Amino acid sequence: MIKLHDKYFKPFISAQEIDDAISRLAKEIAADLGDEIPVFIGILNGSFMVVSDFVKKYPKPCEVTFIKLASYEGVKSTEDIQRLIGLTQDLSGRTVVIIEDIIDTGNTLEEIHRIFSKERVKSLKIATLFYKPEAYKKDYKLHYVGIEIPNKFIVGFGLDYNGLGRDIPEVYQIKTTQHMTNLVLFGPPGAGKGTQAEFLKEKYSLVHISTGDVFRYNIKNETALGVLAKSYMDKGDLVPDEVTIKMLNAEVDKNADANGFIFDGFPRTEAQAKALDALMETKDSSINAMVALEVDDEVLVKRLLERGQTSGRPDDANEEVIRKRIAEYYSKTAVLKEYYSSQNKYFGVDGVGSIEEITVRLSAVIDKL
C-alpha cells in the first residue's frame, strides 16, 4: 500500500504486465502499418512513460513527438481541456498514431480529434495503454487498447494524483475505503462495553455496529434481509452467518467514508471471524484489533447485582444466572481470543476502575494501532 497526499492506493498492475501490454501494442501496430513511417504522438504529461517504452519496442523506423493537454483535477476528469503545447510540425499526408496513457471519459480524446480535424493527415489512429470502458462516454474508435481496467482511479507509470505518483514503475489503484481503524469489541456482561463503545465512537469518529441493533433495524423496517432473518428466528433457528454478514456489509457500505468501525456482538465464532475478515477484505480493509475488557468475575457479579437493583433487568437480579452468563461468555469467546491472538490482534484491557481510567487504557491501545 502507498499513500499520496491524503489518499491510499494498493498495488494493481505490475511492471511486468505493463511491459507485456506495451509489447503487444507495438507488435500489433507495426503489423498494421507495414512500411509506413508513422508519427507517434504522446499526450503529455501522463504518456511519457508509455511512449518511451513503446518506441523502444517498436521494431521499425518512426517519429515521435508530443502535445500537452490537461484535464484532470484531483481524482476527477473535467470537461475543460487545456491545450498547453499544441502541434508544432506539419503532419500533412502522415500516418499519425496517438499514444495515450489512459482513456477515461474520452474528453481528452475529443479535444485530440478537434485538433486533428484541421490537419490533413493520411490517417489518425488511437492507441492507449489503459482504458476504462465503464467511464468512456464518446464514440471515437479506439484502435489499440493495452489493458482494460475498472472505473477506479489509478496512479503510477506516468499517471498522477495531484502531481504525485508519475514516477512509480507499476500501477496502483485507489483503495475502496481509505485508511480505517476497525475494532472488534468484547467484554463480559457488566464490563462496561456499552459505555466504552460510546466513548470510542466519539473520540475516534468510528461507526458502532452493534449486531443486535442491526438485526432490530432490518426486522423493524422489513428489509429483504430482515424478512429473511425473521423467517429463521420464527422457526427458532439461528440466522445463518451469510445473512448476518450481508446485513453488516450493508452497514459498512452505508458508512464507506467512516474512519472505521466498532463491531459489537459479532463475530462470536471462528467461522464468523473469518467471514468478517473476508468482508473487510472486499473493502480493501481489515480488522485491526480485538479489544476485550477484562474484569474479574467477582467484580462483575457485584456490578451486575447492583445494576439489577436499579435497572429491574431480571437477568441482572440473580447471582446464579449472572455467573452462568459470565461463564458462557468465556467459553464462547476463548476461541476468538485465540483467533485474534494468533494474528497479534488481541488486546486485553483492564476493565476495573473509573470510566475515565478505562477509556485512557483503551485509547493507549488504539493510538498504537
Just list the catalytic residues: 193, 268, 307, 313, 325
Q: Find the shortest distance in angstroms from Cβ 185 to Mg ion.
A: 46
- Give the interface size with Mg ion as a residue count (CB under 5 A): 2
The 39-44 sheet, strands edge to edge: 76-85, 63-73, 39-44, 95-103, 123-131, 144-148
**Nearest-5° angle of CA 255, CA 258, CA 264?**
75
Residue 97 interacts, among Mg ion, ligand IMP, none and using kind-specific CB cut-offs from 5 to 8 Å, with none
Residue 276 interacts, among Mg ion, ligand IMP, none and using kind-specific CB cut-offs from 5 to 8 Å, with none
- Pick the closer one to ligand IMP by CB: 156 or 187: 156
Residue 41 interacts, among ligand IMP, Mg ion, none and using kind-specific CB cut-offs from 5 to 8 Å, with none
Residue 255 interacts, among ligand IMP, Mg ion, none and using kind-specific CB cut-offs from 5 to 8 Å, with none
Q: Find the shortest distance in angstroms from Cβ 28 to ligand IMP.
A: 21
Q: Find the shortest distance in angstroms from Cβ 222 to ligand IMP.
A: 40
Dist. CA 161–CA 126, nearest whole Å:
24
Binding part of the chain for Mg ion, among 41-49, 191-199, 200-208, 224-232 by CB under 5 A, reads 41-49
Q: Find the shortest distance in angstroms from Cβ 13 to ligand IMP.
A: 11
What are the residues binding ligand IMP (CB under 6 A)?
43, 46, 71-72, 77, 101-109, 153-155, 159
- Pick the closer one to ligand IMP by CB: 69 or 200: 69
Dist. CA 10–CA 1, nearest whole Å:
5
DSSP label of 164? B
- Pick the closer one to ligand IMP by CB: 171 or 290: 171
Do residues 52 and 167 touch, judged by C-beta distance below 8 A? no
Among the residues of the chain, which ranges form H helices? 15-33, 48-57, 107-116, 193-204, 211-220, 224-234, 241-254, 270-282, 297-311, 319-341, 355-367
Residue with the closest Cβ to Mg ion?
46
Do residues 31 and 305 touch, judged by C-beta distance below 8 A? no
Element (H, E) at 174: strand 171-174
Residue 159 interacts, among Mg ion, ligand IMP, none and using kind-specific CB cut-offs from 5 to 8 Å, with ligand IMP
Residue 72 interacts, among ligand IMP, Mg ion, none and using kind-specific CB cut-offs from 5 to 8 Å, with ligand IMP
46 binds Mg ion (CB under 5 A): yes
- Pick the closer one to ligand IMP by CB: 172 or 347: 172
Its sign, for the CA torsion 128, 132, 135, 136, is positive
Q: Which residues of 138-156 are buried (b: 16+ CB within 10 A; e: fewer)?
A: eeeebbbbbbebeeebbbb
C-alpha cell at 215: 438485526
Q: Find the shortest distance in angstroms from Cβ 83 to ligand IMP.
A: 13
Q: Find the shortest distance in angstroms from Cβ 27 to ligand IMP.
A: 24
Dist. CA 264–CA 267, nearest whole Å:
8
CB burial of residue 68 (10 Å; 0-12, 13-18, 19+): middle
- Pick the closer one to Mg ion by CB: 43 or 366: 43
Residue 107 interacts, among ligand IMP, Mg ion, none and using kind-specific CB cut-offs from 5 to 8 Å, with ligand IMP
Q: Find the shortest distance in angstroms from Cβ 44 to Mg ion.
A: 7
For residue 159, give the nearest of 104, 109, 115 by alpha carbon. Answer: 104
- Pick the closer one to Mg ion by CB: 100 or 284: 100
**Could you count the other beta carbons within 10 Å of the beta carbon of residue 48?**
17
**Could you count the other beta carbons within 10 Å of the beta carbon of residue 309?**
10
Binding part of the chain for Mg ion, among 43-51, 130-138, 186-194, 295-303 by CB under 5 A, reads 43-51
- Pick the closer one to ligand IMP by CB: 140 or 217: 140
The 261-264 sheet, strands edge to edge: 207-210, 261-264, 183-186, 289-294, 346-350
Interaction site with Mg ion (CB under 5 A): 43, 46
